[in-house]
Structure 1
Amino acid sequence: MNPRQRRGLLFVLVSALVAIGTFFAVSAYVANVNSQVGSRVTVYQASQPIAPYTPLGPDNLEAVEVPERWVPKSSVLSLDELQGRRVGFRLNAGSTVSSDMLIPSSSLSATEREVAVNVNSVTGVAGRVRPGDRVDLYAVFSEVPGLPKSVRILSRDIRIVSIAGEQTVTKESAQGGTSEQQVIPVTLALEPEQALAVTYAGAFASEVRLVALPSDVGTNRKGEPNDYDARKLGGKAVPEEAE
C-alpha cells in the first residue's frame, strides 16, 4: 500500500469515527430533549391558597401536566389519593402537592376518637414517647369547686397517635392577664368515655401529665392506685367550696 492509499484509509477511518461520535452526540441530545418535553405526567397543584388542615379535593386542586424528568415520584398522585387528605401548613396557589406533605391517614378503630392535649417537656415525659407508644394519663385537680385537691388517673394504656412540634400559646389568668407558654400538642386515641374525661381535664385540671409505660403493658396491672390526695400523706382531703 503506497502512501497515498494509507492517507486515504486514514481519512476514511477518521471520518467514520467522527460520524460515530456525531451520531452518539445527536442521540444524547435528542434523548435529553425528549426527557424534557417528551414523556409527561400529571400532578396536582393548589388552584388557590389553601389554609392548613383544609381537606383537599377538586375545589382547591387542579391537574397539571409536566415533564416527568422534573417531577419527584412523591408528586405523582391521583385525585383519589388526595381526596379529603390534609396538609399541616399553608399552600400557596400553584404549589404542587406531594405525598410527603400529607398528614398521615387516621389509624383509629371504629370506636376510637382523636383528642389532643397540650403538654410541655416535663409533663410530656421529656420527649421519651413517640407515636405508637402507650401511656397513662394523669390529671392534677387543685382548684375545681367541690373536688378535693388530688391527682387522678384519667385513663390507662392510651395510644399516642401523633406529637406535634413545640408551639407558643397565649393563656389568660384568672385575674385577666395573659402569658405565653410553650406547649407540645399530643394527639391520643381514646374511647368516647375516655375522650370526655380527657376533655374535662384539659379544661379544668391544673395539669395533665403523660406517664410512660414499660414495654410489657399487657401484664396484669390490677391493684395500681387510681388517685392520690392528702389522705395518703396523713392529712385530710378537703373539697374546695362549691360556687
Structure 2
Amino acid sequence: MNPRQRRGLLFMAVALLIALGTFFAVSTFVADVNSQVGQRVTVYRAKTPIDPYTPLSADNIEPVEVPRRWASESSIVSLSELTGRRVGFRLNAGSTINSDMLIPNSSLSSTERELAINVNPVTGVAGRVRPGDRVDVYAVFSEVPGLPKQVRILQRNVRVVSIAGQQTVTQQNAQGVREDQVIPVTLALEPEAALSVSYAAAFAQEVRLVALPSDVGVNRTDEIDVFDASHLGGEAIPEGNR
C-alpha cells in the first residue's frame, strides 16, 4: 500500500469517527429535547386564589400540560381525585396542586362530627399535637354571667383529625381591631360534645388542648373535671352575684 492509499484510509477513519461523534451528539440532543417536550403529562393548578378548606372543583382548578421530567409523582392526579378535596392553606393562582397537599379524607364514624376550633401556639400545645393524637379539651370561663370563674374539662380523649397552618385573623372588640395568629384544629366529636366545645369556643375566655400520654387506656377516674377558687381555699362565686 503506497503512501497515498494510507492517507486515504486515515482520512476515511477520521471521517468515520467524526460521523459517529456527530450521530451520538445529535441523538443525545434529540433525546434531551424529547424528554423535555416529547412526553407530556397533565397536572392541575389553581385558576384563582383558593382560600383554605375550599372544596376543589373544575370551577377553581384547571388542567395544564407540562413535560414529564418537570412533574413530580405527587402532582400527577386526575380531576376525579381532586374534586371535593380540600387544602389546609391558601393557594395562589397558578399553584400546582400535589396529592400531598390534600387534607386526608374523613375517617369519622357514623356518630362522629368534625368541628374546627382556633387555637394558638400556646393553647394548641406549642406544636406538640399531630393528626391522630388524642387530647382533652379544657375551657377557661371567667366572664360568663351565672358561672364562677373556673377551668373545666369539656371533653376527654378527643381525636385530632387535622391541623392547618398558622393563619392571621382580624378581630374587633371594645378596644378596637386587632390581628391574632391562630391555628385551626379539627376535632372528631360526638354531637353533644360538639355542642359543648362550640359553646366554649364562643363564650369561654380561652379553649385549650391538653395532650395525653400515648397509653390513653390508663385509669383516669381520680382526675377532677373542674377547678375553681374553692380548690385554693376561696369561694367560687358566680359572676353577677357578688
Same fold (TM over 0.5): yes
1:184-231 deviation digits (Å, cap 9, x = unpaired) = 332222221211111100111112122121121122212211111222
Residue of structure 1 equivalent to 2:106: 106
1:138-179 deviation digits (Å, cap 9, x = unpaired) = 111112111122111001111222333333333343x46344
Q: Deviation of residue 50 (structure 1)?
A: 4.4
Residue of structure 2 equivalent to 1:115: 115
Residue of structure 2 equivalent to 1:197: 196
Residue of structure 2 equivalent to 1:68: 68
The two structures have a TM-score, normalised by structure 1, of 0.85
Tell me the SS of whatever aligns to 1:37: helix
Residue of structure 2 equivalent to 1:206: 205
Structure 1 residues 107, 120: CA separation in 2 closer, same or farther (over 3 Å shift)? same
Q: Deviation of residue 44 (structure 1)?
A: 2.7
Residue of structure 2 equivalent to 1:43: 43
The yes-or-no answer on 1:28 pairing with 2:45 is no
Residue 239 of structure 1 aligns with an amino acid whose one-letter code is: P
Q: Deviation of residue 4 (structure 1)?
A: 2.8
Structure 1 residues 181, 214: CA separation in 2 closer, same or farther (over 3 Å shift)? same
Structure 1 residues 240, 183: CA separation in 2 closer, same or farther (over 3 Å shift)? same
Tell me the SS of whatever aligns to 1:14: helix
Structure 1 residues 176, 138: CA separation in 2 closer, same or farther (over 3 Å shift)? same
Residue of structure 1 equivalent to 2:169: 169
Partners of 2:176 and 2:58 in 1: CA distance: 45
Residue of structure 1 equivalent to 2:124: 124
Structure 1 unaligned spans of 5+: none
Tell me the SS of whatever aligns to 1:135: strand
Residue of structure 2 equivalent to 1:187: 186
Residue 189 of structure 2 aligns with an amino acid whose one-letter code is: L
Tell me the SS of whatever aligns to 1:121: coil
Residue of structure 1 equivalent to 2:140: 140
Tell me the SS of whatever aligns to 1:123: coil
The two structures have a TM-score, normalised by structure 2, of 0.86
Partners of 1:192 and 1:65 in 2: CA distance: 45
Let me know the Cα RMSD of the aligned residues. Answer: 2.4
Partners of 1:122 and 1:54 in 2: CA distance: 27
Residue 36 of structure 1 aligns with an amino acid whose one-letter code is: Q
Residue of structure 1 equivalent to 2:84: 84
Partners of 1:97 and 1:127 in 2: CA distance: 25
Tell me the SS of whatever aligns to 1:26: helix
Partners of 1:193 and 1:166 in 2: CA distance: 28
Q: Deviation of residue 103 (structure 1)?
A: 3.2
Residue 237 of structure 1 aligns with an amino acid whose one-letter code is: A
Is the deviation greater in 80-89 or in 94-103? 94-103
Residue 5 of structure 1 aligns with an amino acid whose one-letter code is: Q
Partners of 1:109 and 1:226 in 2: CA distance: 26
Is the deviation greater in 203-212 or in 233-242? 233-242
Q: Is the 8 A contact 2:50 2:60 kept in 1?
A: no
Residue of structure 1 equivalent to 2:5: 5
